[in-house]
Amino acid sequence: MSLFGTGAMGRVVRSGVGRRRVRTVVIVLAVMMAVASAVVAGALMAAAAAPFDHAFGKQRGAHITAQFDPAKAGAAQLAETGKLAGVIASSGPYPSTVFRPVDQAGFHLPTLTLVGRSGPDGDVDRVELKTGRWAQQPGEIVLAASFEGPATGIGATLKASDTTKAPTLSIVGFAVSAGRTADSWATPAQVDALASEGSPVTSQMLYRFDSASTKEQILADRKKLAASVGPGALLGTQSWLDTKRAADQGAAATVPFVMAFGVLGIVMSVIIVSSVISGAVGISLRRIGILKAIGFTPREVVRAYVAQALIPAGAGIALGVVLGNLLAVPLLADTEAVYGTVSLSVAWWVDVTVPAAALVIVGLAALIPALRAGRLRTVEAIAVGRSPRTGRGQWAHRAMGLLPLPRPVTYGLATPFTHPVRTLAMLLAVAFATVAATFAVGLTSSLTAVGTSQNPESRAAVTVTTTKRNSVAPPPPPPAGGSVTGPSPVGGSVAGTSEPKAADPAKVRSAITSQAGTGSYYGKTQTEVAVAGVSGSVQASLYEGDASSGSHPMISGQWITGTGQVVVPTRFLERTSTELGDTVRVTYEKETANLRIVGESFDTSGSGLEIHTGMANFASAVPSTFLIEVKSGVSADEYAQKVAAVVQPLGGDATTNTPSGQEGVILIMSAMAVLLTLMLVSVAGLGVLDSVVLDTRERIHDLGVCKAIGMSPRQTMSLVLASVTAIGVIGGLIGVPAGYALHGLVMPVMGRAVGTSLPSPVLDVYEPVQLLLLGLGGVVIAVLGALIPAGWAARARTATALRTE
């Protein structure tokens, strides 16, 4: 026996599903879209939350990783900080330094934070050994697991630097610290020995607090630590919240907008399913009366109409689960790259919970109009069903008749008032579709602005480098099990690249200034530096001259205007618990400078940290690139060719810049936003189509009378289209402001998910003309949805229409 019965009950259900094809298709698509969005959102939330939290809890990760100056705070004093109020566990002090090792092939690894620990265990940050063993004597080192590969395996050796007398270190293990407190570990004596190579030793302390779940609590805990030691003793801190955000951001940024579309889809599916079933009840009153007359109980009638919604909804749920799993794959791939262990498949509980919830929601949406069908009295249903009800909306017809418009148009404008509930459902469907379209336009525009802002070098017309572009050997395939990443610093190289002979920057600069057509220019180099209190290397962009034309958008503060200044992104401020006006200690090669933070830049380039400062702060820094703006009327291509002819013999090169393409994640999010919007708009159009079909069938006799007294097919079509035009206008007026507000709500949440606030160029993306066109989009959706039934009504023969009730 089936869930909805056999025999007569089964025939009634199958007939209702099969005869009303438009209604069936509308329910299938509405539910499919809602389920697909919910599956993607659930998959991303599961991927973004579970891996880091599990690993961090298992290792008792450090809420705060602090670096102290050992000359101002001794070991005994630091040990006492572990007894401060609120501290539930601490480890350290451990000697710490930074160094940039060279592998056996002579290639540099990125700058690493090295911590001296006698073992992986401790009250805080119980480092997990993946392979090998812990360093037990000088000359041995343990690296973070991400560095493991063919060139850096167990037993391989590294030189501590590229100097002749640098000590050799043997790799004995690979480990993982969930809190990322270090990139490498050795014995405390080994750290002291390497510190003599140019990087001072600092003291690392690891803390867990009873309250450390918010930024405000972390800042309060940091103040306790700073107050417990002498002035200037606390060099810097790293918050676990920023480490978590960096680990999660691959998927976290996509969750808010996918959830927004999912909520829109769920609400729209509820509205459309309720409207469709309510319309089916309204147009089938005579059929309901007959069913009751032949013996169907009220409960059986309710079951029949709920089944007519649940059967197509079940098909939509199945398709939605499949589509959601397919859409989640490219986004989960980005998450897998962050964690390395996340499955590319959606969590099983998401594929179970979402369909179950969708089935309950659809069932409840269909139950209310089905209960109305069950409560109808048999005689009343048959009597009402045989003759159309009159009197509804007569006031609207009289009011619209006063307008200076053709009678078919005023008749159509008054039609929605005959069925206010059905009209409200159409209005909400059009409004939600307009919300989705408005939100999608703003989202894609914001994502485009994000992509453009992250490559300020592309704004310059010409780029002149101190090395020839074709002199760099292509990198080898990434090592199995991990990769070594990092920008190539001045005087070093990234593994897999050769060192080209660089041109003298002074001669390149002279060639630029002497070239006719030069407007403005600035020098730039990207390198790695060490920042006190930050584990691992920090990418630094060093500028020479006025670099305002190549600046990142500013969230607060100002761009660098002189020496002693640094601009940092939001995640740097959060990770180091600093703010504008604070001073940070930055080490470039063997030079150290104390720089004041003057600005907060917008940067979503990755989980790593980046700073921007003037080249004048470090005497040994030289520009590797010059970015040039040419004078008005000067061809960038011709200018680049002339400069290249001068600098190529010196070892440099000159090229014109082309607009940078969007990053893969941005393209994926934009494409998904467009796809989900098209689905919502299509579902809204089908919802209008179904409602207009019901209206037209109910009024076919009236249309026959109008045709008999002279209404032309064109006037008939204008009557039907006019009945939805006002709905489209009102839906657009509601949907555009709501979509605008939704964009203003979701975009900052997406920014916070990747550890940054958003500047106005990313948020203020709507133009007045765009908003006007989006408002007209509501009319387009309504009219397109009504075109097919309007054409059917226009083609209907008068005699056929008059015989139809």
Q: What is the pTM of this model?
A: 0.61
Tokens describing residue 698 = 């109910």
Residue 340 has pLDDT above 60, yes or no: no
479 inside domain: no
Q: How many CB atoms lie within 10 A of CB 145?
A: 18
Band the pLDDT of 266: cuts 50, 70, 90. confident
488 inside domain: no
Are 643 and 757 within one domain? no
Tokens describing residue 175 = 């480990």
Query: Of the ranges 57-61, 372-376, 456-460, which is most confident?
Result: 57-61
Tell me what pLDDT residue 116 has: 93
65 inside domain: yes
The sign one gets for the Cα dihedral 550, 553, 555, 557 is positive
Are 400 and 360 within one domain? no
Helices and strands, number each (H, E), in the chain: 23, 20
Reading phi first (left if > 0) and then psi (alpha if -120 to 50, else beta), residue 15 is in alpha
Cα(437)–Cα(640) distance, rounded to whole angstroms?
43
Poorest-pLDDT segment among 174-178, 190-194, 754-758, 782-786 = 754-758
User: How far apart, in Å, are the Cα atoms of 46 and each of 32, 42, 194?
Assistant: 21, 6, 42
Band the pLDDT of 142: cuts 50, 70, 90. very high
Nearest CA among 540, 45, 578 for reference residue 342: 45
Q: What is the DSSP letter of 416?
A: G
Are 667 and 646 within one domain? no
Q: Cis check for the bond before 93: say yes or no (omega within 30 of 0).
A: yes
590 inside domain: yes
Residue 360 has pLDDT above 70, yes or no: yes
Cα(202)–Cα(582) distance, rounded to whole angstroms?
20
* Strand duo 462-465 + 625-630: pairing: antiparallel
Cα(677)–Cα(739) distance, rounded to whole angstroms?
12
Where is the domain boundary, 367, 387, 407?
387
311 inside domain: yes
User: Which residues have CB under 8 Å from 654's CB, separation 6+?
Assistant: 462, 463, 464, 465, 640, 641, 643, 644, 647, 648
- Percent of the chain whose pLDDT exceeds 90: 14
Band the pLDDT of 489: cuts 50, 70, 90. very low
Tell me what pLDDT residue 447 has: 82
Are 590 and 684 within one domain? no
Instruction: Give the pLDDT confidence of 192-219 residue by residue, as tens digits.
Output: 888 765 578 999 999 999 988 888 899 8
Q: What is the mean pLDDT of residues 496-501?
A: 42
Tell me what pLDDT residue 282 has: 60
Query: Helical H runs in 20-102?
Result: 21-58, 75-81
Query: Of the ranges 223-237, 279-293, 365-379, 755-769, which is most confident?
Result: 223-237
Tell me what pLDDT residue 487 has: 31
Cα(242)–Cα(604) distance, rounded to whole angstroms?
14
Are 81 and 216 within one domain? yes
β-partners of residue 494 are 108
309 inside domain: yes
* Strand duo 518-531 + 538-544: pairing: antiparallel
Q: What is the mean pLDDT of residues 77-99?
A: 91
Cα(109)–Cα(485) distance, rounded to whole angstroms?
8
* E strand or H helix that includes residue 787: helix 768-795
The sign one gets for the Cα dihedral 390, 392, 397, 398 is positive
Tell me what pLDDT residue 695 has: 74
Where is the domain boundary, 197, 212, 243?
243
Are 177 and 204 within one domain? yes
Residue 652 has pLDDT above 90, yes or no: no
The residue type at 231: P
Are 24 and 121 within one domain? no
727 in Cβ contact with 416 (< 8 Å): yes
Cα(205)–Cα(222) distance, rounded to whole angstroms?
12
Tokens describing residue 77 = 């004093």
65 vs 702, higher pLDDT: 65
57 in Cβ contact with 257 (< 8 Å): no
483 inside domain: no
496 inside domain: no
Tokens 């089944």 map to which residue? 307
Query: Of the ranges 600-609, 669-678, 737-746, which is most confident?
Result: 737-746
Are 231 and 350 within one domain? no
Residue 663 has pLDDT above 70, yes or no: no
Query: Of the ranges 23-32, 203-212, 452-461, 521-530, which is most confident?
Result: 203-212
Where is the domain boundary, 223, 243, 263?
243
The residue type at 804: T
Give the three-state DSSP class for 152: strand
498 in Cβ contact with 468 (< 8 Å): no
Instruction: Give the pLDDT confidence of 533-573 residue by residue, as tens digits.
Output: 777 678 888 999 888 888 888 888 889 988 999 999 887 88
Residues composing the chain: 805
Instruction: Give the pLDDT confidence of 157-197 residue by residue, as tens digits.
Output: 998 887 778 889 999 999 888 888 998 999 999 998 887 65
24 in Cβ contact with 16 (< 8 Å): no
264 vs 759, higher pLDDT: 759
C-alpha torsion angle, residues 61, 66, 71, 77 (rounded to 10): -60
148 vs 462, higher pLDDT: 462
Are 165 and 262 within one domain? no
Are 340 and 440 within one domain? no
Residue 611 has pLDDT above 80, yes or no: yes
Tell me what pLDDT residue 607 has: 57
Helix, strand, coil tally for the chain in percent (to 5): 55, 15, 30
Cα(665)–Cα(119) distance, rounded to whole angstroms?
39
Are 395 and 445 within one domain? yes
Cα(725)–Cα(699) distance, rounded to whole angstroms?
18
Q: What is the mean pLDDT of residues 574-582?
A: 85
Nearest CA among 462, 457, 467, 522 for reference residue 491: 467
- The number of domains in the chain is 4
Cα(148)–Cα(132) distance, rounded to whole angstroms?
11
Are 511 and 579 within one domain? yes
Start-to-end C-alpha separation, the chain = 36
Residue 130 has pLDDT above 70, yes or no: yes
Q: Which domain holds residue 436?
A: 390-455+663-805
- Write down the mean pLDDT value for the chain: 78
